Structure 1
Amino acid sequence: MSSPYTYSIGDRVTIDPAVAHASTRGVTYRVTRLLPVNVVVEPVDGGRPVKINPPTCGPPPQGTPPPALAPAASGP
Structure 2
Amino acid sequence: FEKIEMPEDLAYCYNKMGNIYLKLNNKTEYFESIIKAYEIYMEIHLEKKALKIREKLKKVDKKVYKQQFPNY
- Normalising by the residue count of structure 1, what TM-score does the alignment of the two structures yield? 0.21
Q: Determine which structure has greater relative contact order: mean sequence separation of CA pairs < 8 Å that are 6+ residues apart, divided by chain length.
A: 1
| Structure showing the higher helix proportion among its residues | 2
- Normalising by the residue count of structure 2, what TM-score does the alignment of the two structures yield? 0.22
